[in-house]
Structure 1
Amino acid sequence: MSALSFSSEVLPIFFEERHRALSARLTPELLAPLARTHDGAESARLLGEPLGLYAHLVPEALGGAPAGRPGDATAIDVRALVLIREALGQVSPLADSIFAVQGLGSYPVVLAGSEAQRQEILPEVIRGSRICAFGLTEPEAGSDVASMRTVARREGEKWLLSGEKTLISNVPIAHHVVVFATVSPEAGRKGISAFLVEATAPGLTMEPVPLSVPHPLGRLRLDGCPGELLGEPGTGFRVAMETLDAFRISVGAAANGMASRALAEAVKHVRRRRQFGVALAEQQIVRAYLAEMATELDAARLLVARAAHQRDTATGRVTVEAAMAKMYATEAAQRIIDKAVQLHGGSGVTLETEVERLYREIRPLRIYEGTTEIQKLIIAKGVLDRAAAAGES
């Protein structure tokens, strides 16, 4: 494939020299092994020591890559995540999904793990010898986390977990799952705690779930399964939300990568394909499609880059900006890829074309790490809270 497209090239004001060096390293040649494999375990391995990309999921103070937010020992460089996920979105959405969940399943250890847990787990995460998963969603508790039914009870020095998790990415290739369970159901979200559960733990059953794209996904059943507490009891909801805050922006970046690839494929097709005696690229309606696609992609990149820059350089939360970036980028990518399929005509829905695969790959991004509808609620709350703070009637 041709050279990859990066936000650091089109929006340099939001990025620094280390980001430009990173994007220069992420060439099609370097990432070619990821493009060639459709095996989740192989993709997970390649992202580790051969490519060294997992280092960007761990703060520098804990052995990872240089951090973004100054003075914060738990910070990771979100702009680096943006560039990596843009690249993976263009080359291998499978690898992108595994990379993202490796972050979700290890960052709770960064935030709440003991020194011993960090020293044991995080070097393995960086090498890729430990693959992680993030066990939050349940059959009856998706966006409504407070309705969680998985429970943890203490027996002596042990915590035993019982319940079910579903739609958990990286199952069954994960070596551990960070499972969220309630230690006090009557306390709602204040009773939720985070636990580290090894894949080999007794009482844990992992079952793969078929997906519309060949990504590792499954459900967990826990029947008196032992887990190690991360942090203090009752702090799990905060750990989950802080983890999602750190990675939600990068979902928009992955969508931008997929949209960028779709636009490139569409341009290549309409320049080559001829109808009614001229190339499709000479027809006005085709040019209108390309104009809309390019404009939406640039708008999405602006929102993602702004949110990532704020996350890396500001001291406060960027929850609203992250929600805007995630919502707009994933919805725009769906529209861009849909237009790319349309411009390909009948070939756009055959398994031989890249745009058909992208059409299936983009759809989950509008759901995971907070649906579009949840992002709208977050944004609206932020708008109303800011108006109230300003004293507007």
Structure 2
Amino acid sequence: MIILYNLVLLVMRAGYNIAALFHNKARAFVTGRKDVFTKLGDYFRQNHAKVVWVHCASLGEFEQGRPLIESIKKEYPQTKILLTFFSPSGYEVRKNYDQADFIGYLPWDSAANAERFISIVKPTLAVFVKYEFWHHYAKALKQHQIPLLSVSSIFREEQMFFKPYGGFYRGILKNFSYFFVQNETSLHLLKSIGIDACAVAGDTRFDRVYAIVKQGGEIPVARQFKSDQKTFVVGSCWPEDFEVLTPLINENRIKFIIAPHEITETFMAAMESSLQVKSVRFSQAAGKPLEDYQVLIIDNIGMLSRLYRYGEFAFIGGAYGKGLHNILEAACYGVPIFFGNKDYEKYQEAVDLINRGGAFEVRDYTDLKAKYEMLNSPETFLLACEVTRLYVEENLGATEKIMHYCRTLLA
């Protein structure tokens, strides 16, 4: 099986090298790994401080690792943080992240690369986030007696680890020192294959998002626009989402704050032409009687997490297309959440909130209207709000659970 594993990685590597000739993302993937060992050596060869290596596949996993990185840096400021990414979509966005001392790409998983990487960095602790399970790196860390944690990990029965023929993949997991998983199902699955060094910690994203929400300030334009009227906040809106929302906007007197996922003139102009009610863009709102407008279009980035505070309801985009966007920011404000019904099942929080009655997947406008009208009942609305608020509160604290373990290694 190891031969097949190595062969697959070689084929992947060749595929990326070919794709790099035609695609910018593949080119970044390939060029970003050039001279990585030289750069690591220049930084770490003279280092005498403890090193915590945190590896994330991409940007989403980084957001799960970030609370732990920042907690370690706060408690152990002399400790060096090495942050690696597999994908350019994580590295390019976070290559200047100021809480990490060195940020780079993970070299391809091979026995030689793993040995070379660890001999240069000499980490005190390694942390792989969520789905990162690399055979050679995990094996080399164990051989060097360096603790390796898996955090915010989540397992499903259909994964190779739990198949009769999955012995090689189970072997990868057994090189880890401890697993901090997101749910009880993952815990039971690990125990079913003889892995007892595991505990349910939850998803560290809850801690991160909750902190952002609590630190967020007022947005005067949004406050004036809302006034004392019921408001629907639409986050990361795609054209497919807006198509479902448009009749609801045109047929109701409720106000809408809409933040497009991609802020393009084409999309914003299309929204405005579809609306039969008064709308205004955020950049043009100054001096206008905002109480008279029904739709506020957000034509900037960076304020979405603070906008949800102005809503009684939230609609999160993406599920009709490439995948549901972050619903936790809205959930932190304890409001009922709507989203499309096509691509949300892989997001545990979406499934959990649907099952509890705090979130609602909608097929089309008719479905959205029916579920929205159901929530117009005060009792149903307040129950959905309470469910969402409690769900977030129940899931806080994952970072501290992991830190409790890390302190024994970093003190």
Q: Answer yes or no: same fold by TM over 0.5.
A: no
Q: Which has the higher helix share?
A: 1
Which structure: larger Rg? Answer: 2
Q: What interval of TM-score do these two structures reach, taking the shorter chain for normalisation?
A: under 0.3
The alignment's TM-score, normalised by the length of structure 1, stands at 0.28
Higher relative contact order (CA 8 A, sep 6+): 1
The alignment's TM-score, normalised by the length of structure 2, stands at 0.27
